[in-house]
Amino acid sequence: MPIAYNQRTCYCGQVGPHQAGQSVIVAGWVHNRRDHGGMVFIDLRDREGLVQLKFNPETDPKAHETAGKLRSEFCVCVRGDVALRPQSMINPKMRTGTVEINVHEIDILSASETPRFMVEDEINVNDELRLEYRFLDLRRPTMQKSLITRHRAVKIIRDYFNDQGFIEIETPFLTKSTPEGARDFLVPSRKQPGMFYALPQSPQLFKQLLMMSGFDKYMQIVRCFRDEDSRKDRQPEFTQLDVEMSFVQVDDVLNVAEGYLVRVWKEILGVDVPRPFVRMSYQNAMDDYGIDRPDTRYDLRIKDVTAVCRKTEFKIFTGAIEKGGVVRCIRVPGGADMSQNEIEKADNSLQNILKGIGAGGLPYVKVDVAQPPSAGSSQPGAAVPYALKTGVAKFFSPELTAELCAATGAQAGDALFFAADTIDNVCKYLARLREEVARRRNLIPAGLWNFLWVIDFPLLEHHAEDNRYYAVHHPFTSPMDEDVHLLESDPLKARAKAYDVVVNGVELAGGSIRIHRADVQSKIFKLLSLTPEEAELKFGFLLKALRHGPPPHGGFAMGVDRLVMLLCGLDSLQDTFSFPKTAEGYCPMTVAPSPVDQKQLDELSIRLAPSVKK
């Protein structure tokens, strides 16, 4: 009679010493099989872990015979007795390593073809093959942990925000295409030929409208869609926690977001995160770290040495300065031990990494102890106890060496790496260099969580190529109250009521206080080169709502996928999704996107371009 697999008594990974002598029913997949002189051992796996099964030919010959047929990934159900392992056979690497199950009955529920790769964490398989066989890939412990952690994090979201008085409200997936943000995914309308919906990049406008509708506190765990260019850690669809509140200022929003993050880190990782989080201005982040999501677990701060380098005769430095650029550098303590090969000659040298993002090279110097003048020398002694060597050292006189060391805090044994270009490019190059040096020199402390709010962002930026202003966050971000007058006189000096939370160099969430005055919103649209007619066409529904007593409001959006990546210590965002796509937006498992038949295209009034047909 078959074993009643629907009556299993526990998961494999939950079998323990407290069940010794008890009969249990477990079900799962064959992880591996070992034949030890007639005695067969099977590690059976389910979502909770592994348990060892023991098949004895003398006591249970039928079960033993069946065990001989088992192969990797066969799905089976067994009934047996839990027994304590002998002391010498205990496996400390397994949660169930102190016990095993003496099997009396086994049913093969289904067989498996030979898997294309081993179902274990340490595998060397390309991503496309993993995604093609995602149903196997998801059986791996790391992947199961990721999705279970995702479930727990989402449950904590709902519990926490419910306790805070928030209402979960769903917003539409089929909506209007608007010009802010990335490229939309468009959905053709069959009933209105030639018209299109857009899938939401975020519920930004809808959550503002909910505040204007009087709901006061809204949250949603929402799927969002962006048709962006390929990148390793980017998916065309992603999930975010979306939050909005009425009658709040920046501190109120930050307090709510901190409360959730502290709770999730405590409940999932057992880590106590101190509050309040450190706050850093956008300008300080860019000046000291070159990036608006700095990893503050290690130092390597950027130093401006434009004033010193202006006095050199090194044309790379002086040429950049003459064009209005800057020279900045990073001091690497002890970096004088870095080889020329590591810095500039190897394929993966620091210089080549920076060239890969547009830099022309990587000027550097090493700091050494200055040598006293030899007996009888007419040369005066060095002005400081340090001298520079290698790289661009020849361009620094003893006096400039003194100034450089004073400006950077450099000491003997250190290395200084420079970038000379526009401010934006210098920030980009040195931020990347900083991250790479920290990784290579093991400067990143393990187990440390640094939470940081970046605040006081600029409201607008100007692009010279088309001579236009663009919103740094989005067009609905409120300027600081004291900066509203600057919209007329000097828009680039206006600061935004915007904020990002950064965890170990990862931007986890961002948000702002929104514009709730129709006149201010119209000024922003005008600065963004939207005519009143264009603004009405694209955002008429929002402008109409803004004329009907909207409350002050603000909120944030937090990436659930990034949150899980951090909690699980994963390197790839892809591993936080159940069924992700490649960097090209392709699903190898379902083979999507795929062609559709002509009848469907005709119903949607769509005609393919000749080049696409071909």
Give the separation between CA 297 and CA 350, rounded to whole angstroms.
Answer: 21
Q: Which CATH architecture has domain 298-440?
A: 2-Layer Sandwich (3.30)
Could you report the per-residue pLDDT of 455-498, keeping only the tens digit for each?
A: 999 999 998 888 999 999 999 999 999 999 999 999 999 999 99
Please state, in angstroms and rounded to a whole number, the distance separating the CA atoms of residues 303 and 334: 17
pLDDT at 37: 76
10 Å CB burial of residue 169 (0-12, 13-18, 19+) is middle
Q: What pLDDT sits at residue 78?
A: 97
Based on its alpha-carbon atoms, the radius of gyration of the chain, rounded to whole angstroms, reads 31
How far apart (Å, rounded) are the C-alpha atoms in residues 500 and 485? 25
**Structure confidence at residue 464 (pLDDT):** 84
- Model pLDDT for residues 552-574, shown as the tens digit of each residue: 999 999 999 999 999 999 988 99
Q: What is the pLDDT of residue 384?
A: 57
Amino acid (one-letter) located at 543:
L
pLDDT for residue 113 is more than 50: yes
Given this model, what pLDDT does residue 613 score? 66
Tokens of 481: 């109250």
Band (pLDDT 50/70/90 cuts) for residue 538 is: confident
List the structure tokens of 49.
């872990």
Which two structure tokens, joined as six digits, stand for 381?
């002694």
Q: Quick check: 153 and 260 in contact, CB under 8 A?
A: no
Say which residue the tokens 């999932």 belong to.
Answer: 268
Is this prediction's pTM over 0.85? yes
Residues 444 and 438 sit within 8 Å (Cβ to Cβ):
yes
Give residue 121's Cα distance to chain centre: 21
Average pLDDT, the chain: 93
CATH superfamily, region 5-110: Nucleic acid-binding proteins (2.40.50.140)
* Residue ranges with strand state E in 339-448: 364-369, 386-389, 415-421
**What percent of the chain has pLDDT above 70?**
97
Residue reference for tokens 């009955």: 105
Residue 209 confidence (pLDDT) above 60: yes
Residues 6+ apart with CB under 8 A from 274: none
- pLDDT class for 382, splitting at 50, 70, 90? very low
Contact between 325 and 538 (Cβ < 8 Å): no
Cα(106)–Cα(121) distance, integer angstroms: 27
Which pLDDT tens digit goes with each residue over 219-238? 999 999 999 876 767 899 99
Q: Where are the domains of the chain?
A: 5-110, 127-275+498-513+554-614, 298-440, 458-495+517-550
What are the distances in angstroms from CA 262 to CA 224, 276, 360? 25, 10, 43
| Predicted confidence band of residue 2 (pLDDT cuts 50, 70, 90) | confident
Place of tokens 């949603």: 220
Pairing of strands 451-455, 498-503: antiparallel
pLDDT tens digits, one per residue of 257-313: 999 999 999 999 999 999 999 999 999 999 999 999 999 999 999 999 999 999 999
Q: What is the architecture of the domain spanning 127-275+498-513+554-614?
A: 2-Layer Sandwich (3.30)
Contact between residue 538 and residue 530 where contact means Cβ atoms under 8 Å apart: yes
Q: Give the CA distances from residue 235 to residues 209, 465, 473, 510, in Å, rounded to whole numbers and listed in that order.
A: 27, 29, 20, 18
Residue 332 has pLDDT above 70, yes or no: yes
